[in-house]
Chains A and B, each alone.
Chain A
Amino acid sequence: MKRNLAILFMLMMATTPAWAALGSNVASVDADVQAFNGQHTLVAKTGFNLHQITMQDGSVINEYVSPAGTVFGVSWRGHRIPNFHQLLGTYLTNMQQGQRTNVIPRRAVTIQGTDFMLTSFGRMMNYQGRAWVPSLIPSTLTPAVVQ
């Protein structure tokens, strides 16, 4: 029974997951690459590095890394919504406590939390969004670089 297998795994596994990425250092990107089972591409941009993870179904996750080596923003575009738990790491709590604003019914929302912004929009087979930590954005950049 799978259920029993699951319990077994639950007992056996380490309790500290390999969470990425938002707010973590650049090394966490590798954890996301592994978690999302994607292809990793690094693009040097003015004032930051863009780590692009392309998943098997073509969905793309972008991670924006400051010169200091901190992931200050993430974005996604794909047929499915990514695992926020993996992608947002400890900022899940900020998301959970945030306010829903600028809602377009069933289509889009902005979540504004403590030192946290997330926009999500789309529909089945076409989800897009991005999240960033304002305090981590280098002074030379604006949130608009998180695309």
Chain B
Amino acid sequence: MRDKVLPFSNKQDFCTLVRVLFIVAGLTGLLVMAGCGGGSSSAPAPSTPGVSLSATTLTFAAAVGATQTQMVTVADNGSASDSFTGFSFSGTNASDFSQTNTCGTGISAGANCTVSVTFTSSSAGSGLTATLSIADNASGSPQTVALTATAAAPTATLTPTAGLTFNSQGVGSSSAAQTATLTNTGTVPVTISSAISITGTNAGDFSQTNNCPASGSTLAATTNNTCTINVTFTPTASGTRTATLSVSDNATGSPQTIPLSGTGAVGTVSLSQNSLSFSSYSVGTTSSTMSVTVTNSPGASLTIASIVLGGTNPTDFALTTGTNQCTYAGQTLAAGGSCSIYVDFTPASVASFSAAVTITDNSGGVSGSTQNISLSGAGFNNTVQVNVSLGPNGNIPNAITTTVTVCVPGTSTCTTIPDVIVDTESIGLRLLASGAVNVTGTQVGSLGLPTITDSSTSYPIYECYLFGSLDYAWGPLAMATVTVGGETASEIPGAAANTGIPIQIITTNTPPEGVWYPETNTNYEEGAYYNPCLYGETSTGEIYAFDGGNDGTVSVLGANGLLGISNAPQDCAVATTNYCTNIATTDFTYLEYDSAGYPGSDCSTTTTSTPCTFVVEPTPLDYQAWNPVSTFPVDNTGSILSLPTISTSGSPPLTGTLTFGIGTETNNAITSQTVYEVDEYGNLNYLEYNGVQYTSEDSGGAFLDSGTSFLYISDETALSQDGVSVSDCTSGGTDTGFYCPSTTQTLPLTVSGINDISSPNITLNIANEVSLVESGNAAFNDLGGPSCEGGSAAGCTTATDFWDLGLPFFFGRPVYVGISNLAGTGAYPNGYWAF
């Protein structure tokens, strides 16, 4: 069968293996099966050649213009070699096919060769047919292969056609992949013409991987006709993000596209508060920690780059630790997550401070976004150290003193005076004019403090501050700026700034005699001679009734002055009453001298032998000695005297703290203490001991008195019932008037304020005064003596005894001294004690 004989381009042996390969159009190489075309058969030449074909039909499908190659293996299964005479096509569409082969002119017995048949269509069509004929010398020649072919337009779809829609995704973060599928929907392979791409507005926000054929390769039809494209969304900005997934090929409608869309989400910071306002804190102490919670919005994480302190006073604030604390060096905050910033405040000085915490992040999708938390606070210094010692004379146990600085108002002309007694039972600052000890600067009397003159009379105002012991502090009132510890009194309330507050300058002079002529005061005889501190005269007008002594020296006063910080703002007022305004009832406490008519006599310094004229005028509060505490700018509601707990055997000199203000700062609130309002005399409502209530009306009263070194108690019911009397101390000398029990005596008692609040039981101790003082210690909590010495023979009764709870009461028990409000407002118009 040699209908058509084509010349062999070469001649090879036949292989026995038959294989059909579909070669996708476009592949330029032609695979030749291994083992083919190898060695020659050594078998004896058969007498009969025989040929078999690996396929007798081939079906082609290819896009128009594309080629498709299939192979047919020709095997010699006969006993003799086979020789070929031609390979030819015939039939209707023979021109659409072509072939190449490896058969040459023949193959030996048992060998094979391959014919590659290529279909190339120039136009679309189906049912194209042709026949490949192989002419040879084998029986049945020519062997034929029926060829059918389809030439069609390639088609493909990219699904889902609606596109891929991604959920809200945090900017900068990547979504899970979604899959698009490319499907060859036609009958012919689809040739991918370029790399799969993402294009469009936000192409950069999407990325893909795929298992599709590479550019130039084909996606087969019918079988294995799909490939997948995995798309990931990584938004670079917030909002709707769109792009297009595009596959370019030779299919109809190329490129195949589907839309991609997603929403870029960003974290947005919210702060629980935008500012932290610390209250005032004592200089050098650290506040309670305050915090701000940083919360991220749902939907996307937030990247915090840093949290730092800045602003005006960053060193007075500190970022500190706490629960769920933000990492100040930076962190990622999950969507909807939160963390907290903790801040402490430690004021370095008396001032207002501000700073800011700055959070740098990508809030709102804006890299470098910042949020600020403003910080504010103030420092105060409302304390002063107090010292308990034997005093500057070295002979007064429980002498409690502090240091005071006074200045000429509005100037820097100042002097600092140590060893000033802290006295909760007097009011006003009184300083020695001269002779003060341990003073390195100017004595107060030489400082040039302006004295106070009555604006209506132009007379200078003097005060004779008479003590219960009938000794006195005598001298002019002067204006001074007063600094105690961290507090400065620059003026009295309502007065012009920096005009000072009234203090008394205690002189060593004997008060001058004066002629008394208050027109309306019948207590004293008009025109008679008086001495304001020495009380009256004899009928000759020359002898004073009694000279209790001038406290104008350190040797007598035992100090350089008195810092009187009791319950009222001024020394001649209680609650709403100024007891120095009514001439009809006043005494000589405040008086004015008119020396104009007495040439050569200066009434501030003259002695008793040179009379002056003095007058008593109503003394407004502004002219009286003021409690410096009540003139402090803020901390003016009282003071707190805090002394440590000490042993019953006493202590060497020690220090404590006087804190100014009550309820004005973070360090002076009334906490566990009970408030006892005092009565109009400055006494407790009562002190109850052994069944007796000591009130102002029925006794000498009871009061708290830091300026007294001992517990002076009622001799009638206190220790005498236990057989202890003052006679147990060495008779005579300095130990008279004190208790010296052989064993320490306890005094269980209670107190009450006029606000009807009674204390729990209070136990005071009284130990042997001689033993204690001889110990060489300076501070004692158990020194005592009788307030009335001598028992009933001396007229002492519970009706006349008083309870002067001196400094021993204060150890280990902070005592609040509340100042009355002269306006009559407030809960405790008379003032109060609290402990």
| Chain A residue at smallest Cβ distance from B683 | A126
Question: Would you call A9 and B789 a contact (CB within 8 A)?
Answer: no
Tell me how far the C-beta of A128 lies from the nearest C-beta in chain B, rounded to whole angstroms: 6
A6 to B535, CA, bound (A): 19
Which of B551, B572, B790, B795 has the most CB atoms of chain A within a 10 A radius of its CB? B795
Question: Would you call A6 and B526 a contact (CB within 8 A)?
Answer: yes
Chain B CB within 8 A of A44 CB: no
Interface members, chain B 740-786 (any A CB < 8 Å) = 785
**Chain A residues bordering chain B, tally (CB within 8 A):** 67
| Chain A residue at smallest Cβ distance from B800 | A147
A54 to B427, CA, bound (A): 26
Question: Would you call A81 and B466 a contact (CB within 8 A)?
Answer: yes
A52 to B709, CA, bound (A): 35
| Chain B residue at smallest Cβ distance from A59 | B585
Question: Would you call B585 and A37 a contact (CB within 8 A)?
Answer: yes
**Chain B residues bordering chain A, tally (CB within 8 A):** 82
Chain A CB within 8 A of B523 CB: yes
Which of A5, A88, A108, A146 has the most CB atoms of chain B within a 10 A radius of its CB? A108
Which of B468, B516, B582, B613 has the most CB atoms of chain A within a 10 A radius of its CB? B468
| Chain A residue at smallest Cβ distance from B396 | A105
Question: Would you call B469 and A108 a contact (CB within 8 A)?
Answer: yes
Tell me how far the C-beta of A26 lies from the nearest C-beta in chain B, rounded to whole angstroms: 20
Contact flags (1/0) for B568-604 with A, using CB distance below 8 Å?
1001111001010010111101000010110000000
Given A108-B787, A147-B797, answer yes or no on A123-B523 (Cβ-Cβ < 8 Å). no
Chain A CB within 8 A of B536 CB: yes
| Chain B residue at smallest Cβ distance from A100 | B548
Chain A CB within 8 A of B22 CB: no
A143 to B426, CA, bound (A): 30
Question: Would you call B528 and A17 a contact (CB within 8 A)?
Answer: yes
A117 to B701, CA, bound (A): 21
Given A109-B548, A132-B795, answer yes or no on A120-B469 (Cβ-Cβ < 8 Å). yes
A59 to B571, CA, bound (A): 17
- Interface of A, secondary structure class, is mixed
Question: Would you call A147 and B426 a contact (CB within 8 A)?
Answer: no
Question: Would you call B467 and A9 a contact (CB within 8 A)?
Answer: no
A82 to B712, CA, bound (A): 24
Chain A CB within 8 A of B224 CB: no
Question: Would you call B522 and A34 a contact (CB within 8 A)?
Answer: yes
A2 to B466, CA, bound (A): 26
Stretch at the interface among B55-63, B121-129, B327-335, B539-547: B539-547
Question: Would you call A10 and B528 a contact (CB within 8 A)?
Answer: yes
Number of A-B residue pairs with CB-CB distance less than 8 Å in the complex they form: 221
What residues on B are CB-neighbors of A96 within 8 Å?
A: 538, 543-547
A20 to B547, CA, bound (A): 21
Interface members, chain A 61-100 (any B CB < 8 Å) = 77, 79-86, 88, 92-93, 95-96, 98, 100
Question: Would you call A83 and B536 a contact (CB within 8 A)?
Answer: yes
What residues on A are CB-neighbors of B548 within 8 Å?
A: 100, 109
Question: Would you call B589 and A13 a contact (CB within 8 A)?
Answer: no
Chain B CB within 8 A of A47 CB: no
Question: Would you call B700 and A102 a contact (CB within 8 A)?
Answer: no
Question: Would you call A125 and B795 a contact (CB within 8 A)?
Answer: no
Question: Would you call B551 and A106 a contact (CB within 8 A)?
Answer: yes
Question: Would you call B468 and A127 a contact (CB within 8 A)?
Answer: yes
Query: Within the complex, which residue of B469, B545, B572 is in contact with A104, where a contact is CB–CB below 8 Å?
Result: B469
Interface members, chain A 1-39 (any B CB < 8 Å) = 1-7, 9-11, 13, 17, 34-37
Question: Would you call A35 and B522 a contact (CB within 8 A)?
Answer: yes
Query: Within the complex, which residue of A6, A11, A117, A121 is in contact with B468, where a contact is CB–CB below 8 Å?
Result: A121
What residues on A are CB-neighbors of B577 within 8 Å?
A: 57
Chain B CB within 8 A of A107 CB: yes
Task: Known pairs A104-B710, A119-B800; list 11 more (Cβ under 8 Å).
Answer: A3-B596, A6-B526, A17-B525, A56-B582, A59-B585, A82-B523, A85-B524, A107-B469, A107-B705, A108-B468, A144-B800
* A residues at B contact (CB < 8 Å): 1-7, 9-11, 13, 17, 34-37, 55-59, 77, 79-86, 88, 92-93, 95-96, 98, 100-111, 117, 119-130, 132, 142-144, 146-147
30 residue pairs bridging A and B, Cβ less than 8 Å apart = A1-B594, A6-B516, A9-B526, A17-B528, A36-B522, A37-B522, A81-B466, A83-B587, A85-B535, A96-B543, A96-B547, A104-B468, A104-B787, A105-B469, A106-B469, A106-B471, A106-B708, A110-B789, A117-B794, A119-B788, A121-B468, A121-B700, A121-B802, A122-B700, A124-B427, A124-B571, A126-B703, A128-B701, A129-B468, A146-B795
